[in-house]
Amino acid sequence: MRTSIATVCLSGGLVQKMYAAAEAGFDGIEIFEPDLVAAPQSPEEIRALADRLGLSLDLYQPFRDAEGVDEEAFADVLHRAEAKFRLMRRLGIDLMLVCSNVGTATLDDDEVSAGQLRRLGELAAAYDIRLAYEALAWGRFVDDYRRSWRIVELADHPNVGVCLDSFHILSRGHDPKQIEEIPAEKIFFLQLADAPALSMDVLSWSRHHRLFPGEGSFDLPAFLAHVQRAGYAGPLSLEVFNDTFRQTDPVRTARQAQRSLRWLADRTADLLGDEAGPLPRLPEVAAPEAFDFVEIKAPETSGVEVLLEQLGFDFGGRHRSKQVRLWTWGEVRIVCNDQGGSPAAPRIAAVGFDVADSEPAAERAAALMAPPVHRRTYAGEQALRAFSSPDGTEVFCSHAEDWIGEFDGGVAGTSTERGSARIDHVNLVQPWHSFDEAVLFYTSVLSLTPQPTQEVAGPSGLVRSQVMSSPAGGVRLPLNLLPTGQLAGDEQAHAQHVALACQDIVGVVAAARERGLRPLKVPGNYYDDLVARFRLSEDFVATLRELDLLYDRDADGEYLHCYTETVGEVFFELVERRERYDGFGAGNAPVRLVSQAG
Amino acid sequence: MRTSIATVCLSGGLVQKMYAAAEAGFDGIEIFEPDLVAAPQSPEEIRALADRLGLSLDLYQPFRDAEGVDEEAFADVLHRAEAKFRLMRRLGIDLMLVCSNVGTATLDDDEVSAGQLRRLGELAAAYDIRLAYEALAWGRFVDDYRRSWRIVELADHPNVGVCLDSFHILSRGHDPKQIEEIPAEKIFFLQLADAPALSMDVLSWSRHHRLFPGEGSFDLPAFLAHVQRAGYAGPLSLEVFNDTFRQTDPVRTARQAQRSLRWLADRTADLLGDEAGPLPRLPEVAAPEAFDFVEIKAPETSGVEVLLEQLGFDFGGRHRSKQVRLWTWGEVRIVCNDQGGSPAAPRIAAVGFDVADSEPAAERAAALMAPPVHRRTYAGEQALRAFSSPDGTEVFCSHAEDWIGEFDGGVAGTSTERGSARIDHVNLVQPWHSFDEAVLFYTSVLSLTPQPTQEVAGPSGLVRSQVMSSPAGGVRLPLNLLPTGQLAGDEQAHAQHVALACQDIVGVVAAARERGLRPLKVPGNYYDDLVARFRLSEDFVATLRELDLLYDRDADGEYLHCYTETVGEVFFELVERRERYDGFGAGNAPVRLVSQAG
């Protein structure tokens, strides 16, 4: 199948949008009328440019308020439509989107609407143009795809068919199953959009908050499966109105859009048991169930190494050919990289995900247009394949056994006195414009699953947190969206962290304090409140207070945790999960944020 | 009456919030529990600080999920409450907010809730504490103030009363009139918040989008009048959860909050015919019905002066003692100011509003805490009083006759060949963090009225536009909210403009082109679309096309307009309003934005 994208999804002028779509590998575009009206190029120039870029012009949209009107108003509709048909001929477009009437409909009568669509179809036929009739979720009378199909059936004209849009169908909670009853040749066009679960009026939801497939809450693989079963063979096209995409680089947005379609097509093929799939299949890769390593980078990382020593890490050796040192504790591997001048202060530069076989994982990432990262390797060294995630953090699909031999001079094995440890989660702070893209990236490239989002109040704004996790919970990756205002400057607000799960946090922290660790100070009021909230023993709360440990409890178990100070833009968390506690102590986050702000 | 503010309205840590509230002139604060829990200071330190700052601690909030539960759960409630009462004694607070149960209520029975509130009241009485029970808009069973009052009546305990919150009442559309039936001594507390008209779930609306009185759509003067009629004499307190205020300077937010209360109290006194009013009355000032002048400032404004000459302005003279020149056309006065180094490129530095008597206007602004602006004046010159608006533009309440004599050497009077002209509107671009504050500023200081907001799609994001206007429409001030991402750098996105209304735009533009004016180029596709949309004569459209004029029409009349190029961050619009057209050609804005982006 072919891929297409509506120009309204992308920022910039029409020509810029066309270049972006072509560059991201789209086969065609839908021309959103206001984009054409505002463009200085003539329709003929746009047509010639599309031709040179290899883009087909798949749809002209939208034509509004066409049916369900009285005869006088319909005369105006025909006048408007004919001007558009002439324009479409200049563009070389033969399909027009006709939305169900929102503004001018006065007649709630399928026969009237069908008759008017038929007459519009007759006029269109004279120009060799076809009409795809779509039920808008907020249409005055027609707001359900089953009704728009009934009207198209009644219109009974070869140039009149339906357009199906996942947003308009799923946002209303309409069952997409009956799509399968529509004859394939009458489904003229398909528009795809995802959206977050929001309870707001459907028009605002539609205009501001649509997302690309894989970024929201709609079950689009199931939706597309119904359309496929109906036999639809036209393009898979995206129509997404979103306040963020309107502001971001159209080339980057177009790649994100193409990635979403490739992922969606692959998931749909899985559902249908379709080996070929509507688009080329992706290499199948199981989600990683452990972190392989975290790399922290700066011209000078010794502050981080002091923290690691205090926490009880063992020195794992120097890299054979690079200014890079390894620190280990149980299954935790932290790499400190002093090469190069950027970033200026310590920051998480890369995260390694432990995948059994890195080759198909890398191929999958490449097929999903994840930008590859090139790192110099020397003879005898493992060339690890890595990709740049939307916030710039490098993502490795790796396996320690393949690269750990490149480090010399460290402690062999790891001391066991402190018990084992593993990376519990890695928290990455996302700028506002790459948050949704990051959700899609980790969903599609690493097969992680987004959990419900949470919001946490900090002293300088609300922080939205989206955890991405592997099926068995071995990998947890909370993505924190910064408050809009904090675009730069505030290092603490941008700080990321690595959480280390240990088995006896009280013992670990007591020993670390002996080695000089000063955990983030927790206010006394917090412990007074803890006593009021949970009926804890006085001794236990005294221990928590003494060690600056935070506490949470839910029906699944308990969570004890504490934080180190921040070095550059990185800090560490120590956590002990008791029983099946699966959260992150979100209720304690405001206390942490205030303490960190000082 | 006293003024108070909940600490949740302000950003920062608790101590910072307290300083901000005191600095803005608040008499007291509500302590939002999470702010205390995260604070490193002990309750005793907070109490002593409040004392030194002259702030009373009016309310401890919120205590959740207190009533409507079974006996076992209620034992936990009493345990929790007693810990809070002890804490409140340490703080010296004697009033606690008890919200209607959201999470744990299982018994939908007024008698049960009343009985539990009574027992809670008995416990509170032992600590000399009173409880203000509030119906949350999303309470499990109790979500209406009339029901919370019925429960309080049933509880029948001197230490149990109600808290009224304008958000919870007005967001649900409940009639506030019945507030007057509640005995004054049982209204323990009043919380005020405004909000925009949004259709979303009430919880999200409440948590993210509340506003200070005068910034949203609620009729708060009418609301407060009901509370006043009931005889309430406690503090007027603000409780506003807002994503923006959480991120902005708390001192500035607190001043904005105080301004909103002073304005609200004054409007309420008007309604009640109350000469004294709940807070000191403001000097009464009629809204201005004309612009007095616009000042454009830069180290070098000659580019602007070239535009003014081409548009047909007369040189109105040089200022006697400053590097400032006046340009006039009919009733339009533009002042070009070359003094000083900032702003670097031409920008609107000041707007003069024509008020009959500037003295009370200035006193009103001062009473509303508008920051005064000081400009050096010399002997014999009029000392104009000006105030800094939230985006930094200086606002003058002035009258040309008072200052125009300070300009020498210009054309006496104005040539009439081009017909008369007036300033139709001045468009000021607002950064995201001062948009709501600007609405309140122009509402309260200048008595302008906010019109419904509109959104316009530009090539790099949606622009939200809020027009502030005078009752007779003589002053129109559209405030444009920039897309979030455009915080700096993009001059065109930040460009402001002055629109000049003339009587014969075709003649004016033709003459201006003779003098070298090059209007903003309008794409040919726009005119093709115009033909499809409106049935206009070919000759007329040809004239529009030739002169790059944009066109709009609605039921009230027609609008013809065009734009100059942008100099620095300023451009001009020429407009001709036909019949009673009252809009701004918003449908043409995307075309302008794309053309300006080049």
Sign of CA dihedral A336, A340, A342, A345: positive
Are the beta carbons of B468 and B450 closer than 8 angstroms?
yes
Bridge pairing between strands A461-469 and A476-481: antiparallel
Instruction: Name the residue with tokens 């034992």.
Output: B75
Could you check whether the bond before residue B62 is cis, i.e. omega within 30 degrees of 0? Answer: yes
Question: Per-residue DSSP letters for B429-440?
Answer: EE-GGGHHHHHH
What's the pLDDT tens digit per position in A393-405?
999 999 898 899 9
- For β-strands A56-63 and A28-32, DSSP reports them as parallel
- Check if the beta carbon of residue B49 is closer than 8 Å to that of residue B41: yes
| The token pair that represents B215 in the structure block | 């910034």
What's the gap between Cα B106 and its chain centre? 41
| Cα distance between residue A544 and residue A537, in whole Å | 11
* A593 contacts in chain B (CB < 8 Å): 38
Closest Cβ opposite residue B590 in set A38, A462, A595: A38
pLDDT interval class at B242 (50, 70, 90): confident
Sign of the C-alpha dihedral computed for residues B69, B74, B76 and B77 taken in this order:
positive
What is the overall mean pLDDT for chain B? 92
Residue range B156-165, pLDDT digits in tens: 999 999 999 9
* Most confidently modeled range among A147-161, A191-205, A251-265, B337-351: A147-161
The per-residue pLDDT for A487 is: 46
Task: Provide the shortest C-alpha distance from residue B128 to chain A (in Å).
Answer: 19
Whether B535 and A484 lie within 8 Å, measured CB to CB: no
Q: How many CA atoms lie within 13 A of A332 on its CB side?
A: 29
B197 touching chain A per CB within 8 A:
no
Residues 6+ apart with CB under 8 A from A343: A297, A298, A349, A568, A569
Q: Which amino acid is at A303?
A: G
Question: Which chain B residues touch A42 with a CB distance below 8 Å?
Answer: 524-525
Q: How far is B267 from chain A (nearest CA, A)?
A: 32
Q: How far apart are CA A167 and CA A146, in angstroms?
A: 15
Q: Sort out which chain A residues have CB atoms less than 8 A from B243's CB and list them.
A: 461-462, 483-484
Distances (CA, A) of A496 to A231, A565, A574: 47, 12, 14
Chain A contact present for B529, CB below 8 A: yes
Closest CA to A504 of A414, A415, A413, A421: A421
pLDDT > 80? residue A548: yes
In terms of CA atoms, which chain B residue is nearest residue A245? B461
Give the minimum alpha-carbon distance from A197 to chain B in angstroms, rounded to a whole number: 12
Give the C-alpha separation, B76 to B82, whole Å: 10
What is the complex's ipTM, to 2 decimals? 0.84
The mean predicted confidence, pLDDT, of chain A is: 92
Q: How far is CA A493 from the centre of its chain?
A: 22
Q: Which of B28, B29, B31 has its CA nearest to residue B39?
A: B31
Using the Cβ of A75 and the Cβ atoms of chain B, whether some distance falls under 8 Å is answered with no
CA distance B544 to chain A (A): 15
Window 296-335 of B, Cβ < 8 Å to A = none
Helix (H) or strand (E) holding B406: none
The closest CB to that of B200, out of A36, A200, A485, belongs to A200
pLDDT of residue B454: 85
| Residue B425 marked ligand-binding | yes
Query: What's the pLDDT band for A207 if we cut at 50, 70, 90?
Result: confident
Q: Mean pLDDT throughout B480-495?
A: 68
Q: Where are the beta strands (DSSP E) in B72-149?
A: 95-99, 130-134
| B526 vs A contacts (CB less than 8 Å) | 37-38
Please check the confidence at residue B206 and state whether its pLDDT lies above 90: no
Q: Report the pLDDT value the prediction gives residue B375, as an integer from 0 to 100.
A: 77
Is A83 touching B (CB cutoff 8 A)? yes
* Mean pLDDT of the region B499-521: 95
- Per-residue tokens: A334: 């932290």
Helices (H), B447-537: 505-514, 524-533
- At A358 the pLDDT is 85
Distance CA B232, CA B395 (A): 37
Q: How far apart are CA B399 and CA B289, in angstroms?
A: 12
What gap in Å lies between CA B261 and CA B191, rounded to an integer? Answer: 11
- B427 φ, ψ (degrees, to nearest 5): -100, 120
Name chain A contacts of B532, Cβ cutoff 8 Å.
79-80, 83-84, 87
What are the CA-CA distances from residue B368 to residues B245, B450, B494 (Å)?
Answer: 19, 18, 28
How far apart are the two ends of chain B, measured CA to CA in Å? 56
Rounded distance, CA B230 to CA B418, Å? 60
Is B531 in contact with A39 (Cβ distance < 8 A)?
A: no
pLDDT band of residue A195 (cuts 50, 70, 90) is confident
pLDDT score of B487: 46
Dist CA A300 CA A304 (whole Å): 9
CB half-sphere exposure, A242, CA atoms < 13 A = 32
pLDDT at residue B13 tops 80: yes
pLDDT above 50 for A284: yes
The residues spanned by each domain of chain B are 3-272, 291-597
Q: Per the CB < 8 Å rule, is B42 touching A524?
A: yes
A485-508 in b/e form (b: 16+ CB < 10 A) is: bbbeeeebbbbbbbbbbbeebbeb
Q: CA A550 to CA A593: how far, in whole Å?
A: 13
- A58 touches A237 (CB < 8 A): yes
CB B10, CB B250: distance < 8 Å: yes
Residue B233 is inside which H or E element, if any?
A: none
* Pairwise CB contact (< 8 Å): B13 & A459: yes
For the stretch A79-103, pLDDT in tens is 999 999 999 999 999 999 999 999 9
The helices-and-strands tally (H runs, E runs) of chain B is 18, 26
Segment 453-512 of chain B within 8 Å of chain A by CB: 457-462, 483-487
Report the DSSP beta bridge partners of residue B4.
B28, B237
Q: Per-residue pLDDT tens for A416-461? A: 566 789 999 999 999 888 889 999 999 999 999 999 888 888 887 8
Nearest CA in chain A to B39: A523
What's the CATH number of domain A3-272, 3.50.50.60, 3.30.420.40, 3.20.20.150, 3.40.50.11260?
3.20.20.150
Class of the CATH-defined domain B291-597? alpha beta
Please, are residues A573 and A585 in contact by the beta-carbon 8 Å criterion?
no
Mutation test of the interface with chain B: which of A7, A8, A36, A37, choosing the one with the most B Cβ atoms within 10 A? A37
Best of A84, A453, A594 to substitute, by most chain B Cβ atoms within 10 angstroms, is: A594
Please give the structure tokens belonging to residue B155. 């509880």
- pLDDT > 80? residue B207: no
DSSP A419-461: --EEEEEEEEEE-GGGHHHHHHHHHHHS--EEPPPEEEEETTE
Whether the CB of B531 is below 8 Å from some CB of chain A: the reply is yes
Would you tell me the crossing angle of helices B435-446 and B358-367 to the nearest 10 degrees?
Answer: 140
**A525 closest CB neighbour out of B36, B80, B593:** B36
Task: Flag whether pLDDT at B215 surpasses 60.
Answer: yes
Q: How many Cβ atoms sit within 10 Å of the Cβ of residue A399?
A: 20
Q: What is the pLDDT of residues A5-57, one digit of tens each?
A: 999 999 899 999 999 999 999 999 999 999 999 999 999 999 999 999 999 99
Chain centroid to CA B550: 31
Mean pLDDT within A302-312: 96
Flag whether B67 is marked binding.
no
- The mean-pLDDT minimum among A42-51, A462-471, A524-533, B372-381 falls in B372-381
Q: What is the pLDDT, as a whole number, of residue A434?
A: 86
Task: Decide if pLDDT at A414 tops 60.
Answer: no
Strands A3-6 and B130-134, bridge-based pairing: unpaired
pLDDT in tens, B515-554: 999 999 999 999 999 988 898 999 999 999 999 999 999 9
- Give me the sign of the Cα torsion angle A398, A399, A404, A405: negative
pLDDT of residue B484: 64
A420-432 as b/e, with b when 16 or more CB fall inside 10 Å?
ebebbbbbbbbbb
Q: Model confidence over B258-299: pLDDT tens digits?
A: 999 999 999 999 999 988 889 999 999 899 999 999 999 999
Q: What one-character-per-residue DSSP string does A334-402 give? A: EEEE--SS-SSS-EEEEEEEE-S-HHHHHHHHHHTTPPEE-----TTS----EEE-TTS-EEEEE-HHH
Three-class SS state of A557: strand
Contact check, Cβ <8 Å, B525/A39: yes
- Give the containing element (helix H, strand E) for A270: helix A250-272
CA–CA distance, A91 with A95 (Å, rounded to integer): 11
Residue B191 marked ligand-binding:
yes
Beta-carbon contacts of residue A259 (< 8 Å; ≥ 6 apart): A212, A368, A369, A370, A440, A441, A444
The predicted pLDDT at position A494 comes to 78
Q: Which residues pair with A386 in a beta bridge?
A: A373, A396
Which ranges of A455-495 does DSSP label H, i.e. alpha helix? Answer: none
